[in-house]
Amino acid sequence: MAWSISDVARMSGVTSRTLRHYDEIGLLPPAWIGGNGHRHYEEDDLLRLQQILLMRELGLGLREIQAVLDSQIDQVAVLREHHRRLLAERNRLDTLARTVGRTIAELEEGRDTTMAKINRPENLFEGFEPTTAETEAEVREKWPQAWEQSRQAVATMTADDTERWQREVTAQMIRFAEFMVAGTPVDDSAVQAEVDVHYQGVCRFWTPNAAAYKGLGQTYVDDPQFRVNFDKIADGLAVYQRDAMVVYADARLD
């Protein structure tokens, strides 16, 4: 079964103009084009469009999306991880909404909501994400200057800034995975150019020297929380990026 470009536009909410653009850049070519020049799409094309729209929602650019779809990276694993994060965020927001709703109800009913009168004062804070004091203390002890620089930088970030930064990090991890899957050596100029982008991103928060930058790369490998995030994109990615960072640090940092 095939659908016309107007059918696909109606079903997906994507304009015909955008669909034609996706065809022109090779992101979503139609299954076939009729003698009248009209584009027609089949089920596999609709599934690919769904993946495109999902990754657009996650903040990836068209170039990154095409690379993911056309590479050997496990697309299902990538989307499964994003799905897990979205569900976790939805649950957190649901809890936060209940917390605020409960507080509004108590205030409207004229109750005294001082800490002394609330049966469970911790209810006021359900849904808020706690900081990991143990992790923060460890970083502060190992790299006190870096911790202070990072703390000051984070304090200036808005929620939109944070969300944008998280999307940039995810997109860059995917680009590193593309190099790794393609068998590109870590000292290749293209890989090193991507490492430079990574280093400049780190410098938004603190400025590591060669030893510190290598240490950060080793942390990606050694820290279970970091390691699992990298390996959810592609197995071995943490080690690959660490090795690329070592090459960069030796060549360009003091």
CATH number, domain with residue 181: 1.10.490.50
CB-neighbour burial class of residue 79 (10 A; exposed 0-12, middle 13-18, buried 19+): middle
User: What is the per-residue pLDDT across 178-233, written as a single tens digit (0 to 9) for each?
Assistant: 888 888 999 999 999 999 999 998 888 888 899 889 988 998 898 887 887 787 77
Tokens standing for residue 228? 């699992």
End-to-end CA distance of the chain: 61
Tokens standing for residue 137? 């203390």
195 lies in a domain?
Answer: yes
Q: Give the residue numbers spanning the domain of 7.
A: 3-57
Per-residue CA distances from 241 to 64, 175, 191, 235, 252 (Å)? 18, 11, 9, 12, 16
User: What is the per-residue pLDDT across 115-127, written as a single tens digit (0 to 9) for each?
Assistant: 333 344 444 434 4
The reported pTM is 0.47
DSSP, collapsed to helix, strand or coil, labels residue 202 as: helix
148 lies in a domain?
Answer: yes
CA angle 26, 64, 78 (to 5 degrees): 115
**Total structural domains within the chain:** 3
CATH number, domain with residue 26: 1.10.1660.10
Q: Are residues 150 and 194 in the same domain?
A: yes
The answer for residues whose C-beta is within 8 angstroms of residue 31's C-beta and 6 or more apart is 2, 40, 41, 42, 44, 45
Q: Are residues 146 and 125 in the same domain?
A: no
**In the chain, where do the E strands start and end?**
3-4, 32-33, 39-41
Q: Are residues 149 and 186 in the same domain?
A: yes
- Smallest CA-to-CA distance from 78 within 171, 217, 186 is with 171
DSSP, collapsed to helix, strand or coil, labels residue 205 as: coil
Q: Are residues 192 and 205 in the same domain?
A: yes
Mean pLDDT across 141-148: 64
Q: Are residues 200 and 150 in the same domain?
A: yes
Check: CB of residue 177 under 8 Å from CB of residue 70: no
Residue 73 CA to residue 183 CA, distance in Å, equals: 13
Helix (H) or strand (E) holding 123: none
User: What is the per-residue pLDDT across 46-61, written as a single tens digit (0 to 9) for each?
Assistant: 988 988 888 787 767 7
Residue 151 CA to residue 206 CA, distance in Å, equals: 9
DSSP, collapsed to helix, strand or coil, labels residue 32 as: strand
Model confidence at 159: pLDDT above 90: no
Mean pLDDT across 28-57: 89
Check: CB of residue 8 under 8 Å from CB of residue 46: yes
